[in-house]
Amino acid sequence: MKFFIDTANLEQIREAAGFGILDGVTTNPSLMAKEGIIEQSTRIKEICAITPTPVSAEVLATDTEPMIEEGIKLSGLAPNVVVKIPMTINGLLATKVLSGRGIKVNVTLIFSAVQALLAAKAGAAYVSPFVGRLDDTGVNGLQVVEEILTIMDNYDFETEVIVASVRHTQHVAGAAIIGADICTIPFAVIKQLSGHPLTDKGLAAFLADHAKIAAH
């Protein structure tokens, strides 16, 4: 499973890239706003300068033609930019046009298997089901992801499934267990992945034993 980081923070991206596990970056208007960014083009270029991996940049338009125009501009910022389009009828139309031009599209705000199927048929390179937000409504988000994966496998779609809206390490583990292609993870959760209380306890014991021997 590929690990993407879900952020617009340059330091977080640099640090995650330094771990040697980073396969891509996803951003959105909310993450940009968190960094105080209004015009995202410069930040997207800065991110792409850090990593050659896929970088998802989201359009702000909601009508089809403006989405297409904005998507073309975003894709021109760097070769590794993936245009993020919301799951709407207008979004599907824009996805069809952009993918037809050879521009990779990540259809976001997916909350059902049928939405993912429509996006794949429109030519999406990626679909992003939001597991955390589904869990918030009482729906098992990872179960929806599993349904999407089954559909993609049934019909040999090349569309990759990005597990998004990740809240904790169990979302990451669950995504890997069911065979998701990608998990896009907040930096705080990435840092939690390598930790475990028993690891800390075991390391402390090793160091204590070594200190005893060294003292003699």
Is-catalytic flag, 84? Answer: yes
Q: How far apart are CA 112 and CA 134, in angstroms?
A: 9
* The dihedral formed by the CA atoms of 96, 81, 1 and 193, expressed in degrees to the nearest 10: -130
Token pair of 106 as six digits: 């990540």
Type of residue found at 167: R
Catalytic one of 2, 34, 73, 84: 84
Catalytic positions are 84
